[in-house]
């Protein structure tokens, strides 16, 4: 872990840094959702660096600190919600890809208006989520 980073937000680092592994932030207030997403990412990507946030403010801070390639952003979180966090992050870091996740498919309009690069309903198949992640990650970290 690098100096100055909050240990509570740093969770997993792949051992394959020399391969240009993908850096991902999972922003969701539900621990089980973050755990499940992390497990899927670790099983399908080659040595990802994964950081976790439980609020939009934490996601915004991590976007600045670690410059992730991709953020998986939940819509509903305490404090700063995912839509507002997406808008704020994209205004400063348009190069960071943001995939918004929600139980409510109707949130897609607001997500895209905020600058999201993709939207996946949490009710969709894992294959749909993985396809969206692969497309946004641009092949980085793929097996």
Is the pLDDT at 63 greater than 50, yes or no? yes
Mean pLDDT, rounded, for 73-87: 96
Q: Check if the beta carbon of residue 119 is closer than 8 Å to that of residue 111.
A: yes
The percentage of the chain sitting over the pLDDT mark of 90, rounded to a whole number, equals 61
Q: Name 102's bridge partners.
A: 121
Owner of token pair 């998986």:
72
Instruction: Break the chain into its structural domains and give their ranges.
Output: 10-137
Report the alpha-carbon distance of residue 73 to residue 56 in Å, rounded: 8
Question: How would you label 35-54 residue by residue, b for 16+ Cβ within 10 Å and e otherwise?
Answer: eebbeebeeebebbbbbbbb
Query: Tens digit of pLDDT for each residue in 84-143?
Result: 999 999 999 999 999 999 988 889 999 999 999 999 998 888 889 889 988 887 644 443
- What Cα–Cα distance (Å) separates residue 58 from each residue in 9, 25, 27, 47, 126? 8, 10, 8, 23, 25
Q: Please state which CATH number belongs to domain 10-137.
A: 3.40.50.2300
> Hey, CA dihedral for 53, 6, 87, 48, is it positive or negative?
negative
């Amino acid at each position: 872990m690098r100096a100055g980073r909050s240990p509570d937000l740093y969770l997993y680092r792949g051992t394959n840094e020399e391969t240009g592994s993908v850096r991902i932030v999972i922003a969701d207030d539900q621990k089980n959702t973050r755990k499940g997403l992390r497990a899927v990412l670790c099983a399908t990507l080659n040595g990802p660096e994964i950081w976790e946030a439980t609020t939009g403010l934490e996601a915004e801070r991590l976007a600045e600190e670690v410059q992730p390639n991709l953020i998986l952003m939940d819509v509903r979180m305490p404090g700063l919600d995912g839509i507002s966090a997406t808008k704020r992050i994209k205004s400063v870091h348009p190069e960071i890809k943001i995939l918004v996740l929600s139980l409510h498919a109707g949130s897609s309009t607001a997500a895209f208006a905020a600058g999201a690069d993709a939207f996946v309903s949490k009710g969709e198949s894992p294959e749909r989520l993985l396809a969206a992640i692969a497309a946004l990650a641009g092949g980085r970290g793929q097996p």
